[in-house]
Amino acid sequence: MNVNSDEATVLSAMLHGASLSRQFRTKNIKFLDISLYNVQVSYLAKAKSMDVPGATLHMITLLVFMQGLWTGMHKMLTFRCKNDFSLAFSYKELLVSEFPVELLDTHLGYSGGIG
């Protein structure tokens, strides 16, 4: 009917420790961490041809980690940029009014390619 969070935490830690030990036999226990919220990445990109009149930079936003997916999964993103650029990772939606939406802002430098 109800769950005592302290007891549940201690019981799960005890079962996990027993499953790692050779002295105890337990059923196979799987622990999965999932993403509770959608995480997106945003960056500025140039238009395909900046020579076209009126062509400007525009913001591209991609959903990279969807709600309910495993947090241990690997993700590969490809950016076709020949200049330095910045990425901004953030939650897709506002969670709580006082909770920050921004997770990480980073700047990536272009090394000029391989070889």
pLDDT in tens, 59-70: 889 998 888 888
Domain of residue 76: give its range: 39-108
> At residue 72, does pLDDT exceed 90?
no
The model's pTM: 0.60
- Is 115 within the bounds of a domain? no
104/57 same-domain check: yes
The pLDDT confidence band at residue 41, using thresholds 50, 70 and 90, is: very high
21/51 same-domain check: no
Give me Rg for the CA atoms of the chain: 22
76/104 same-domain check: yes
Strands (E) in the chain, as ranges, are: 39-45, 58-65, 85-91, 102-108
- Is 114 within the bounds of a domain? no
> At residue 71, does pLDDT exceed 80?
no
Count of domains forming the chain: 2
6/25 same-domain check: yes
The pLDDT confidence band at residue 35, using thresholds 50, 70 and 90, is: confident
27/43 same-domain check: no
Alpha-carbon distance 72 to 36, whole Å?
Answer: 13
Higher pLDDT, 23 or 83: 23
Higher pLDDT, 36 or 105: 105
57/93 same-domain check: yes
Average pLDDT, the chain: 81
Residue 59 token pair: 């913001």
> At residue 115, does pLDDT exceed 60?
no
Cβ neighbours around 15 below 10 Å, total:
15
